[in-house]
């Protein structure tokens, strides 16, 4: 971390104390999650934007650990230690360091060790109310710290999920489209392959082999792969096993037997991904896209509109927000509403705060069922720099 002056340290401490007081007054319990965490959840769940920048190490027992690259996962683990069955609503706040590799670590805007102050609401079943509460409280804290001239970006992965659930396609296609939401180039490439049908796979080396694959039998395909590699004198290099290769080929063979994704469905998915603007206008465009394909997105649209009403009830001006259908914050545990508060034209240094809904994360950590959860993290060094006019 770039060395801090005593004056900067004192300013950060004072800023954090004010934020924590604000969060505590709203009923959020202050906690201090462990800095050392199991590495697997970060490697498997948070996405490329953080996974490749996590500091990993092994202890003497061989367990793979990491320095926490964020505090949401540690907070969720603490919640499950207290409430293993998840049947309890809890509100937590925190302030402490997180650690990520930064290519430009000498920059004050991107230190390897940085502070996050934040809040997490876990177990609240009125999702739209909780979304609005967390967002409004974070916004209040930023304004009381002196932040001005910021922009608010919002998105809703729940709308995207509802869209691909409503379109007629094999379930495995949905399971592949979802994680590629955060990778626009890969998403569009996959979409075009699904639209091309069998012809979409012919250009691949594996395409000429698909006719020999039994798409209903991974076991026989694995045997076929082993024999093929041996006959061609091709060594098995890298981390992919014969079983994984066989599963991939079986998937591709099954894809080749499916009817292509319709051109209209592809067009409307792309139309949806281009939607951006004021939330009240954007949601009308979403409804129009759904109507063109005869899709029922009424539940997701109603939840979006309810959230806007909750924002207004919390004193938040919806007109200050900009909705983007492709906005997902590059963290793959998000499942619904997401937001980011940033200074215009300031790049990463201007990304002061962000958060969103992550209803699936606690099941990944061992919860017996899906638990609603939403939170926000504030990058306090960036906040201080922005308030002082240095961002």
DSSP letter, residue 39: S
Residues 6+ apart with CB under 8 A from 135: 311, 314, 316, 339, 355, 376
- pLDDT at position 46 is 67
Kindly give, in sequence order, each residue whose CB lies less than 8 Å from that of residue 25, ignoring residues fewer than 6 positions away: none
Alpha carbons 244 and 239: distance in angstroms, whole number: 10
Q: DSSP of 49-90, one letter per residue?
A: HHHTT--EEE-TT--EEEE-S-SHHHHHHHHHHH-TT----E
Can you tell me the distance from the alpha carbon of 263 to that of 169, in angstroms, rounded to the nearest whole number? Answer: 13
How far apart (Å, rounded) are the C-alpha atoms in residues 191 and 187? 6
β-strands 351-357, 373-379: how paired? Answer: antiparallel
Is there a contact between 322 and 154 (Cβ–Cβ < 8 Å)? Answer: yes
Answer left, alpha or beta for residue 202, where phi above 0 means left and psi between -120 and 50 means alpha: alpha
Nearest to 309 by CA among 151, 153, 126, 128: 128
Which architecture, in CATH terms, is 6-154+330-387? 2-Layer Sandwich (3.30)
pLDDT of residue 105: 56
Other beta carbons within 10 Å of 157: 23
What is each CA distance from 291 to 159, 275, 296, in whole angstroms? 14, 15, 8
Q: What stretches of the chain show up as alpha helix (H) in DSSP?
A: 6-25, 40-45, 48-51, 72-82, 127-144, 157-166, 171-177, 184-196, 218-231, 242-257, 263-273, 279-293, 298-313, 361-364, 380-387
Q: What is the pLDDT of residue 391?
A: 47
- Tokens for 253? 């063979």
Question: CA 290, CA 287: separation in Å to the nearest integer?
Answer: 5
List, as one string, the DSSP characters of 280-291. Answer: HHHHHHHHHHHH
Give the pTM.
0.86
Tokens found for residue 295 = 């899709």
Q: What residue spans define the domains of the chain?
A: 6-154+330-387, 168-257
DSSP β-ladder status, 351-357 and 36-38: unpaired
Q: Are 105 and 111 in contact (CB under 8 A)?
A: yes
The two structure tokens encoding residue 347: 């790049």
pLDDT the model gives residue 2:
45
> What sign results for the dihedral spanned by CA atoms 59, 64, 68, 73?
negative
Per-residue confidence (pLDDT) for residue 251, from 0 to 100: 73
Cβ–Cβ < 8 Å for 372, 383:
no
pLDDT given at position 296 = 94
- Give strand pairing partners of 276: 324
Which parts of the chain register pLDDT below 50? 1-3, 199, 202, 391
Establish how many alpha carbons lie within 13 A of residue 96's alpha carbon, considering only the half-sphere containing its beta carbon: 18
Distance CA 369, CA 107 (A): 42
CA distance 340 to 328: 10
Length of the chain: 391
**Contact of 276 with 322, CB cutoff 8 Å:** yes
Tokens of 256: 């080749």
pLDDT tens digits for range 37-83: 998 877 776 666 677 788 999 999 999 999 999 999 999 999 999 99
């Amino acid at each position: 971390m770039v060395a801090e002056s005593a004056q900067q340290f004192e300013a950060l401490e004072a800023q954090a104390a004010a934020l924590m007081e604000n969060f505590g007054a709203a009923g959020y319990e202050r906690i201090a999650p462990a800095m050392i965490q199991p590495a697997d959840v970060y490697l498997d769940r948070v996405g490329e934007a953080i996974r490749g920048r996590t500091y990993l190490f092994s202890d003497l027992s061989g367990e793979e650990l990491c320095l926490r690259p964020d505090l949401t996962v540690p907070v969720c683990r603490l919640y499950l230690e207290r409430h293993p069955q998840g049947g309890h609503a809890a509100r937590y706040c925190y302030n402490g360091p997180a650690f990520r590799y930064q290519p430009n670590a000498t920059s004050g805007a991107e230190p390897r060790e940085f502070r996050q102050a934040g809040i997490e609401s876990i177990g609240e079943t009125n999702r739209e109310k909780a979304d609005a509460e967390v967002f409004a409280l974070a916004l209040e804290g930023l304004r009381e710290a002196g932040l001005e001239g910021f922009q608010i970006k919002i998105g809703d992965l729940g709308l995207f999920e509802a869209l691909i659930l409503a379109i007629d396609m094999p379930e495995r296609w949905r399971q592949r489209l979802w994680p590629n939401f955060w990778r626009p180039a890969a998403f569009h490439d996959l979409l075009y392959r699904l639209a091309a049908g069998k012809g979409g796979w012919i250009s691949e080396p594996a395409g000429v082999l698909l006719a020999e694959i039994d798409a209903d039998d991974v076991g026989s395909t694995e045997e076929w792969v082993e024999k093929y590699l041996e006959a061609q004198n091709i060594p098995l290099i890298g981390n992919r096993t014969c079983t994984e290769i066989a599963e991939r080929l079986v998937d591709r063979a099954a894809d080749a037997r499916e009817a292509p994704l319709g051109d209209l469905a592809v067009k409307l998915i792309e139309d949806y991904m281009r939607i951006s603007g004021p939330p009240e206008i954007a949601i009308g465009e979403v409804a129009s896209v759904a109507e063109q394909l005869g899709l029922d997105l009424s539940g997701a649209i109603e939840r979006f509109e309810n959230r806007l009403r909750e924002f207004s009830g919390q004193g938040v001006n919806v007109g200050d927000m900009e909705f983007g259908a492709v906005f997902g914050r590059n963290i793959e545990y998000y499942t619904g509403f997401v937001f980011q508060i940033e200074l215009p034209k300031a790049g990463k240094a201007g990304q002061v705060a962000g958060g969103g809904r992550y209803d699936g994360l606690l099941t990944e950590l061992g919860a017996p069922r899906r638990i609603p959860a939403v939170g926000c993290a504030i990058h306090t060094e960036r906040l201080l720099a922005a308030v002082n006019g240095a961002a």
